[in-house]
Amino acid sequence: MSPAGATPAPALALADAIRSGERRAVEVVEASLAAIAERDGELHCFNLVLADQARARAAEVDRMVAAGEDPGPLAGVPVALKDNLCTRGIDTTCSSRILAGWRPPYDATVVTRLARAGAVVVGKTNMDEFAMGSSTETSATGPTRNPHDTSRVPGGSSGGSAAAVAAGFAPLALGSDTGGSIRQPAALCGVVGMKPTYGTVSRYGLVAFASSLDQIGPFATTVADAAGTFDVIGGHDPADSTSLDRPTPRVLSVLDEGIAGLTVGVVRELLDGADADVVARIRAAAEVCAAAGARVEEVSVPEVALGLSAYYLIAPAEASSNLARYDGVRYGLRVEAPDAASMNVATRTAGFGAEVKRRIMLGTYALSAGYYDAYYGQALRVRTRIIEGFERAYRTCDVLLGPTSPTTAFPLGERLDDPLAMYLSDVCTIPSNLAGHPAISVPFGTGGDGLPVGAQLLAPALGESVLFRAAAVLEAGAPPAGDPGAVDPGAGGAVTGEGAR
Ligand code: GLN
């Protein structure tokens, strides 16, 4: 039993037991629904629980097993879907009033692939409205609470998915990561969360926020489960024009290859500004890599410090364009008014929350004539600099290491009225999105407050194999549950003081 609730059996082990007939999918799904019924009133991980559909689907999986057919590598595994992934005939709200009542006519490619692998969708999870936020507090359906401490946020924007896995509601979930929305909530909830290389997982059926940054990825309780899920959802999809038409790395099969002889670079600038106890954990994670035979060195990638400011021009610019489609005509909410233009204004005024409106205004301003080159154009040049900075680091390093989040889970309400403080939550995760590179957050002990810390590994484009190998090493060497983790900077050792505030 973890402090967050029941620790679910890892997904791949469950699937094996179901495929061999040792366990029945209907029982597994019933246990998941019972856990949700017991505690989701308190946590609010779900916008919608699909109990009937999940039971029917689990029965179908059991029928296949009984008939000697193989339902697939995720047979009978309960999975939670972020509510910005399209599900045919099922409400998909992005936790926004403007999509109330909208039911997509098709499934996202990742949803189809999970179904083909035998997984059982148990519900749609809460999120920051249109994935804009770092705490799941901008949701129109109210915040999700962190299962480890319900006075704290679960992170965001995929906070419902992260908390659902941490609470033991489902062993797997999917989220989307535009600037850190999988990795940051994974870190704050003490689970594994991974953002794939841009283009390796289809975005078809993911409601767009910032199309050049958005990627879908898994949440799991183990690195192997995240790897198995990536293997299922990854791969070329002709329905997504940005999908890479080349082989996607297969990762589950390489997990135990270790990292002996590889070079791990600890990124100095990712430690800057992180809390001292978080920094201490990352230094300990580096020692785990060294003990596994890797060469560990400190590297400087000064460009990553520019990530946040570039992101807050590029992401809102793309969002202002993507969200123009919510006009009261094609989707969800319509507020009636005497003519089309005023209907449009009334619908958007009532339908969008404050953070979404802030992003639309920021983005529209950045793209407007006269400012375009000074803001958007400049941000694109910075983006190129960040890619070059990483390229330099990867000349000597195979993977990079740093914190996922500068702090552990913060109290509900603490940053909601301070957008800049909220935006800073993603300072360590945003550079990978701008570069299009893969990254993963692995639970690595707790901070001085007893709350989870995530160690983040970064790799070059299509470097998923080495990324997952290093993640497996960190997982195996992570401090045991209950390890005090409190840091006494006076005691010397791991803390260098660099990250201390
Ligand atoms: N927190 C960041 C933002 O608000 C990233 C969100 C995300 O990755 N979807 O934009």
Residue 215's DSSP bridge partners are 177
- Structure tokens belonging to residue 31: 């246990």
Would residue 82 show up in a list of annotated catalytic residues for this protein? Answer: yes
What is the radius of gyration, based on Cα positions, of the chain?
A: 21
One-letter amino acid at 489 equals: P
Residue 48 CA to ligand 1 centre (angstroms): 22
Would you list the domain boundaries of the chain?
A: 11-242+253-305+384-498, 306-383
DSSP state of 174: E
Percent of the chain past pLDDT 70, that is, above it, reads: 95
Question: Per-block average pLDDT, block size 10, for the chain (501 residues)?
Answer: 56 97 98 98 98 98 98 98 98 97 97 98 98 98 98 98 98 98 98 98 98 98 98 98 94 97 98 97 98 98 97 98 96 95 97 98 94 94 98 98 98 96 97 98 98 98 98 96 58 35 28
Catalytic residue among 82, 95, 124, 135: 82
Q: What is the pLDDT of residue 425?
A: 96
Q: Is the CB of 137 under 6 A from ligand 1?
A: no
Task: Find out whether 301 and 417 touch, Cβ atoms under 8 Å.
Answer: no
**Sign (positive or negative) of CA dihedral 275, 280, 283, 288:** negative
Would residue 96 show up in a list of annotated catalytic residues for this protein? Answer: no
Residue 426 CA to ligand 1 centre (angstroms): 7
Whole-number Å distance between alpha carbons of 125 and 94: 9
Catalytic residue among 96, 134, 158, 181: 181
Residues found in the chain: 501
Task: Find out whether 83 and 95 touch, Cβ atoms under 8 Å.
Answer: yes
Q: Which atom of ligand 1 is nearest to the CA of 133?
A: 4
Omega of the bond prior to 20 within 30 degrees of 0, cis? Answer: no
Q: Is the CB of 280 under 6 A from ligand 1?
A: no
- Structure tokens belonging to residue 158: 């995929």
Q: Which of 83, 96, 128 to mutate to test the pocket of ligand 1 (most atoms within 8 A of CB)?
A: 128
Q: What is the pLDDT of residue 80?
A: 98
DSSP state of 201: B
- Structure tokens belonging to residue 315: 């992401």
396 burial level (CB within 10 Å; 0-12, 13-18, 19+): exposed
Whole-number Å distance between alpha carbons of 410 and 78: 29
Residue 453 CA to ligand 1 centre (angstroms): 19
Q: What is the pLDDT of residue 481?
A: 77
In Å, the largest CA–CA distance within the chain is 71
Whole-number Å distance between alpha carbons of 266 and 487: 20
Residue 107 CA to ligand 1 centre (angstroms): 23
Whole-number Å distance between alpha carbons of 438 and 226: 13
Whole-number Å distance between alpha carbons of 60 and 120: 10
197: left (phi over 0), alpha (psi -120 to 50) or beta: beta
3-state class (DSSP) for residue 387: helix
DSSP conformation letters of 457-488: EE--TT-HHHHHHHHHHHHHHSPPTT------
Q: Which atom of ligand 1 is nearest to the CA of 210?
A: 9
Out of 3.20.20.60, 3.40.190.10, 3.90.380.10, 3.90.1300.10, which CATH number does the structure's domain 11-242+253-305+384-498 have?
Answer: 3.90.1300.10
Long-range (24+ apart) CB contacts under 8 A made by 65-69 are 65/18, 65/19, 65/21, 65/25, 66/21
Residue 193 CA to ligand 1 centre (angstroms): 15
Total Cβ atoms within 10 A of residue 88? 14
- Structure tokens belonging to residue 263: 């070079």
Nearest in space to 448 (alpha carbons), one of 485, 478, 488, 422: 485
Read off the pTM.
Answer: 0.95
Catalytic residue among 157, 176, 405, 465: 157
Give 23's contacts (C-beta < 8 A, 6+ positions apart): 14, 17, 76
Q: Produce one character per residue of 428-464: b if its CB has 16 or more CB atoms within 10 Å, e if not.
A: bbbbbbbbbbbbbbbbbbbbbbebbbbbbbbbbbbbb
